[in-house]
Amino acid sequence: MSYQPKDAFYRKAKKEGYRSRAAYKLMELARRFRLIKPGDRVVDLGAAPGGWLQVAVELAGPKGKVVGIDLQPIAPVAANVATMQGDATSAEWQAKIKEALGAPADAVLSDLAPHLSGIRDADIARSIELARMAHRIARELLRPGGGFLVKTFAADELREYFDELKMDFQNVERSRPEATRKGSSEIYFAARGFKGRSA
């Protein structure tokens, strides 16, 4: 690895019981953009190992409902967190997510990232592909007015993706949380005010 894995956020996560340093990214972004409120229904795409699920359920509270799905297994998190091992792109698994939520989602989160090849253009293309996939899933799961948080890599090609998000959401902003590793090109789009699938 080119970065130092045991940095301050890594150590903080270990000390405070979070499964990944990425938990602090969601804490910052959710607070800044008011993405998750008490009682919300939240979906986390690519949820393993579960750091974002831990934060999401803290923010949604005991009356909220959180569903995490990943191709990898996810250890149980809390009573009101449903974890699934499956492919969120399939209609079958989207139906299972909807069933677990009991109603359309208030927020859909995606921290999906490609397996890096070291070839910049290929990695960026794959990252944007994953972001578009997450956007499509969010359109299926969100209630009108809901929010969407998605990770991708900084690139010129993101202007087109930003415009795609603007077609479906009232407000779209980009951000780079403090817990992002030094040297990383990842950024997040926070999209709020879902216009509905007919938009």
Positions annotated as catalytic residues are 151
CA distance 105 to 126: 26
- Measured CA to CA, the distance from residue 75 to residue 121 in angstroms comes to 34
**Residue 4 to residue 134: CA distance in whole angstroms:** 29
Is the distance from CB of 61 to CB of 81 less than 8 angstroms?
A: no
Q: Which residues contact 154 (CB under 8 A, 6 or more apart)?
A: 185, 186, 187
Quote the Cα angle for 81-111-192, to 5°: 85
